[in-house]
Amino acid sequence: MIFKDRLKAKRGEANITQAELAKLAGVSTRTIQNYELGSRRPYQIEVVQRIADALGTTTEYLLGSSGMMVADAHEKGGSKAARDIDELVSEVTGMFAGGSLSEEAIEGAMKALNDAYWIAKEKNKKYTPKKYRKATETE
């Protein structure tokens, strides 16, 4: 089950409308509609937390482990990192689709690739020209 399905299911269990959930979470009704359609996903963990609180669940349940990786990437490295991790997760999920690996094995593979991404990103910082580095990274 993915985010949009979990969101719909929890909203149904809570017996509230999209408009009510949007008001409780502090987002627009259209945002909730887009989330449930699957055309958008939240990248800010604060938004997911407000939705989870309104539905009486956890962010981990709503996002799943792959969604948590994307949200964490957004927090750590911004939109580009979130897109990179989202693409990585999608490719890994597709690579194992229809296979005989357990969910735990797939999760482990995704975590290992996520860790490798951040290690590579850290190592590549030394190749960034000084004029593009942030002030705190130069020394």
Give, for all 139 residues of the chain, the pLDDT tens digit. 688 898 999 999 999 999 999 999 999 999 999 999 988 888 788 888 999 999 999 888 888 777 777 777 877 878 888 888 878 777 776 766 666 777 777 777 777 877 888 888 887 777 777 777 665 444 4
Query: Are 110 and 73 in contact, with CB atoms under 8 Å apart?
Result: no
Domain ranges of the chain: 3-127
The tokens of 114 are what?
């996520």
Report whether 71 contacts 89 (CB < 8 A): no
- Residue 8 identity (one-letter amino acid): K
For residue 75, give both structure tokens.
């927090």
CATH fold of 3-127 reads: 434 Repressor (Amino-terminal Domain) (1.10.260)
Burial class (CB in 10 A: 0-12, 13-18, 19+), 36: middle
Structure tokens at 66: 């792959």
- Rounded CA-CA distance 119/124 in Å is 9
CA dist 62 → 8, 68, 99, 123 (Å): 10, 9, 24, 32
